[in-house]
Structure 1
Amino acid sequence: MLDNYFDYKKHKTDFKTEVIAGVTTFLTMAYIMFLNPVILADGGFDFGGVFTATALAAAIACFIAAFYAKTWPVGLAPGMGINAFIAYGVCLGMKYTPAEALGAVLVAGVVFLIISLTPLRAWLINSIPKSLKLGIGAGIGLFLAIIGFQLMGLTSDDPVVLVKLGDLSNPLTLLGAAAFISMIVMEKMKIKGNIIIGIVAFSIIAWLGGWANFNGVVSSPPPMTHLMTFDLGAALSASMVTVIFTLFFIDFFDTAGTLTSVANVAGKVGSDGKIKDIDKAMLSDSVSTVAGAMMGTSTVTTYVESAAGVKAGGRTGMTSLVIGLLFLLCLFFSPLATSLPKEIDAAALIYISTLFLRNITDIEWDDAAEAGPAVLAMIAMPFTYSISNGIALAFVSYAAIRIFTGKFGSTSPAIWVIAILSLISFYVS
């Protein structure tokens, strides 16, 4: 039955290959099961509730992709970067409650869903300059890095210089640093699942050394504390506009970029340059975000780690189905999640930040008008501790540069709309 539905022969694959591909992709993205609850808990969310919501949201999202976008061998789960924006920017920074933040995630998902069904999707993808997309992606990476440094204890606050070197005599900080190095070494050795292996291996050392508590491995899933608790009242207020736009922007363009990368590896780019069935993949992503918000977690998105499964031979939604089933199994490992020291979890954040930064080589560095706003996005996000500020400043500066260099007429209307909304956001937030 699966053979007929996914049409293995047409896609030059088979059941065994698809299963191996699914396991491969899962191992590269399983870290989200541990990191997402840790990050959102810092913003006031219930750790156990987020753990269960993460597993279920990821599983449902993968099932949607498997059976609707069935030619896409991708994994979906709550996205890194967006969860940090929710926790540290929206909840801690702007003082919104988890329910109000989930309301914003839901609205942003609905906006994404509507745009995915209209010609606006292609127009938006083609309207935003590549340099801004790359700069914003790198900025999110640096934002994750500074959070990772703080969680690991590599940095601490200082009233004079703002940030200084942390306490390097702390055994957990040293283990976190060693975990980061191990992840790099394992990647160099092409070991699949390097992030999750690094986290678990050095957590075991922490448990054996008596520096962290081991709470067990298996139990029944924690209750879904945030199920259907979203608050739309605040989400529809003027002060939330910048938050919703940021959530939409990150999810929309991250998904588009990820699908493009996966399509190149999977051979889904046609001779005309168009990507086959990208509309179904983006629609699956947007529906998954709405479902994730209802279950009580941050924005669900398509993972670029899906390329690992594609390289392992995955070519159909059967790969996504396997990933979803493995996320369901994670429901029973909440004690293990609570046993992992945050300093070692932080190693994964810092490692992931390096992945976000890799594409800055593609910025047009010889063109200051393109590179300048991209760099501004990069440095504004960690220094203002806000992804939305980085995006806003990048678009405002880009628009201003276009005006003063005589490029007003050749600039996409999308730039002016986003720049104006960004200026307004500074005054209503």
Structure 2
Amino acid sequence: MEKCFKLNEHGTTVKREVLAGLTTFLTMAYILAVNPNILGTVMNANGVFVATALASAIATFVMAFFANYPIGLSAGLGLNAYFAYTVCLGELAGEENPFAIALTAVFCEGIIFIVLSFFKFREQIINSIPQNLKFGISAGIGLFVAFIGMQNAHIIVANDATVVGLGSFSDLDMVLALVGLIIIAALVHYNVTGGVLIGIIVTWIIGMILQAAGVYTAANLFPDFSQGLQLGAISETAFKLNFGWAATHLIQFMAITFSFLYVDLFDTVGTVVGVADKAGLLDKDGNLPRVGQVFMADAVGTTCGALLGTSTVTSFVESSAGVAAGGRTGLTALTTGVMFLVSIVLSPLFLAIPSFATAPALIYVGMLMLMSIAKVKFDGDIADSVGAYLAVVMMPLAYSIATGIMFAVLAWVILKVVTKKAKDISPIMWVVFVLFALRIVALVANFQ
């Protein structure tokens, strides 16, 4: 373990890394239920479940052994909805097996990312982002993660009058999540090893006790093994690519592929920056060593996921929960990957973990990541200040990491030019600026 993961160098232990890996998995486990639910509208849901677990394990293993970072990967939220509703049920409506065409686009996206990783393009992007913006991105992701957790637990709900509002205290999901947050905070205060993981489990147990007493009736919180395992369903999703359609509809296919490519690229950049900053893995210049290996894990996961039958695989911001639990090396990722494999044969157990139990972990981790705001220099260069500020506010409000980065980069470059400091803009930042500008043009065209 020491030779492979350099535990002493990172000031950690096997026990701490394993607990951190379990914590990361439990905060990510919801994807095993959500992804089949979303993609199941156009594909075999049971096959999607197996494909998601396998692809997540493969990508996370690559992260563990190739990059040695505590980052878990799985099918990205948002990208799976785009896959099912926008592409398959929208742009490809009427086509035979539209999911096969969409999987082909995801596969091509993964191949492109592998090529870009060899040329270190994504590595250059992440290392070219100004340090102030990196801290803003980390803080913005913290708010985004907390917002997701609060939504999952019904603490924050949709509201016609004010867009969002406070949930009802008559909703036990909300109450249990708030209790779970207090439990996690208390355990962390008393330096209990694995406090976040213990908090998740204890909150779940409290829910099951309330259900057994007839108080909690919203959903079944106990694992149900009555349906057995349906592992053979992956034959309905694996290796279903359709290059024939792509060849005869090249322009449309390229547009679909680029949309997957764009969101995956900048979601991953933002997630890696945020998690690495929280883990103290950035060097003195704010750069992330071995970032190319991180992106390669993402690219390999996406390619394998498309072959197995799931949408784009990307780095998960929930990995910050494992980092908060002490994870610092690839052993955390290895543990998470093993749990994805175990989940295939124990799926009823993992799918029974309710969102109100994992939400407190996300809310707490959001607070920890928000602490990066203290490193942002708001009294310095106006481009740095406004760029960081927009990253912080736009991620949760626009519900997109990539959008937050887009506003931050566009504002930073424009203000550098306006304040006659264009010499500070690196060639890579100009390339990213142009990509975002083209993205806005595409969004305007689609809106019209």
- Alignment partners' CA distance in 2, 1:126 and 1:273: 8
User: What corresponds to 2:415 in structure 1?
Assistant: 401
Superimposed CA distance per residue, residues 280-310 of structure 1 (whole angstroms, 9 cap, x where no aligned partner): 4543443233223433254243845469666
Kept in 1, the 8 Å contact 2:141–2:271? The answer is no
Given the superposition, is the C-alpha separation of residues 109 and 361 from structure 1 closer, same or farther in structure 2, using an over 3 Å criterion? farther
Kept in 2, the 8 Å contact 1:23–1:322? The answer is yes
Which of 373, 377, 384 does residue 370 from structure 1 map onto?
Answer: 384
User: What corresponds to 1:52 in structure 2?
Assistant: 50
Are 1:25 and 2:23 matched, yes or no? no
Deviation at 1:164, TM superposition (A): 2.0
User: What corresponds to 2:397 in structure 1?
Assistant: 383
Q: Which moved more, 1:359-368 or 1:254-263?
A: 254-263
- Opposite residue 59 of structure 2, the aligned amino acid is A
- Alignment partners' CA distance in 1, 2:45 and 2:200: 18
Which of 205, 216, 219 does residue 223 from structure 2 map onto?
Answer: 216
Superimposed CA distance per residue, residues 61-89 of structure 1 (whole angstroms, 9 cap, x where no aligned partner): 3443555x2xx54444326xx83333567
- Alignment partners' CA distance in 1, 2:208 and 2:421: 60
Given the superposition, is the C-alpha separation of residues 180 and 263 from structure 1 closer, same or farther in structure 2, using an over 3 Å criterion? closer
Superimposed CA distance per residue, residues 17-66 of structure 1 (whole angstroms, 9 cap, x where no aligned partner): 97546523322312145222344356455775555344323432344355
Kept in 2, the 8 Å contact 1:199–1:344? The answer is yes
> SS of the residue aligned with 2:157?
strand
Kept in 2, the 8 Å contact 1:392–1:419? The answer is yes
Kept in 2, the 8 Å contact 1:141–1:356? The answer is yes
Superimposed CA distance per residue, residues 260-287 of structure 1 (whole angstroms, 9 cap, x where no aligned partner): 876859xxx7x99997765445434432
Deviation at 1:117, TM superposition (A): 0.9
Given the superposition, is the C-alpha separation of residues 28 and 103 from structure 1 closer, same or farther in structure 2, using an over 3 Å criterion? farther
> SS of the residue aligned with 1:164?
strand
Given the superposition, is the C-alpha separation of residues 428 and 28 from structure 1 closer, same or farther in structure 2, using an over 3 Å criterion? same
Which of 56, 59, 62 does residue 61 from structure 1 map onto?
Answer: 59
User: What corresponds to 1:86 in structure 2?
Assistant: 79
Given the superposition, is the C-alpha separation of residues 141 and 277 from structure 1 closer, same or farther in structure 2, using an over 3 Å criterion? closer
User: What corresponds to 2:95 in structure 1?
Assistant: none
> SS of the residue aligned with 1:190?
coil
Kept in 1, the 8 Å contact 2:238–2:307? The answer is yes
Q: Percent identity?
A: 27
Are 1:246 and 2:266 matched, yes or no? no
Deviation at 1:365, TM superposition (A): 1.5
Q: Which moved more, 1:222-231 or 1:108-117?
A: 222-231
Deviation at 1:403, TM superposition (A): 2.0
Q: Which segments of 5 or more consecutive residues in structure 2 lack a partner in the other structure?
A: 91-97
Q: Which segments of 5 or more consecutive residues in structure 1 lack a partner in the other structure?
A: none
Deviation at 1:326, TM superposition (A): 4.1
Kept in 2, the 8 Å contact 1:137–1:357? The answer is yes
- Opposite residue 179 of structure 1, the aligned amino acid is G
- Opposite residue 134 of structure 1, the aligned amino acid is F
Deviation at 1:352, TM superposition (A): 3.5
User: What corresponds to 2:437 in structure 1?
Assistant: 420
Given the superposition, is the C-alpha separation of residues 26 and 428 from structure 1 closer, same or farther in structure 2, using an over 3 Å criterion? same
- Opposite residue 73 of structure 2, the aligned amino acid is P
Deviation at 1:405, TM superposition (A): 1.0
Given the superposition, is the C-alpha separation of residues 390 and 74 from structure 1 closer, same or farther in structure 2, using an over 3 Å criterion? closer
Deviation at 1:229, TM superposition (A): 5.6
- Alignment partners' CA distance in 1, 2:134 and 2:369: 11
CA RMSD of aligned residues (A): 4.1
Given the superposition, is the C-alpha separation of residues 337 and 292 from structure 1 closer, same or farther in structure 2, using an over 3 Å criterion? same
Are 1:352 and 2:371 matched, yes or no? no
Query: Which TM-score applies when normalising by structure 1?
Result: 0.76
Which of 403, 424, 427 does residue 410 from structure 1 map onto?
Answer: 424
Q: Please show how residues 289-304 of structure 1 align to structure 2 within 5 Å.
A: 289-295=302-308, 296=310, 298-301=312-315, 303=319
- Opposite residue 266 of structure 2, the aligned amino acid is F
Given the superposition, is the C-alpha separation of residues 42 and 406 from structure 1 closer, same or farther in structure 2, using an over 3 Å criterion? farther
Which of 33, 36, 41 does residue 31 from structure 2 map onto?
Answer: 36
- Alignment partners' CA distance in 2, 1:65 and 1:143: 24
Given the superposition, is the C-alpha separation of residues 388 and 51 from structure 1 closer, same or farther in structure 2, using an over 3 Å criterion? same
- Alignment partners' CA distance in 1, 2:278 and 2:146: 23
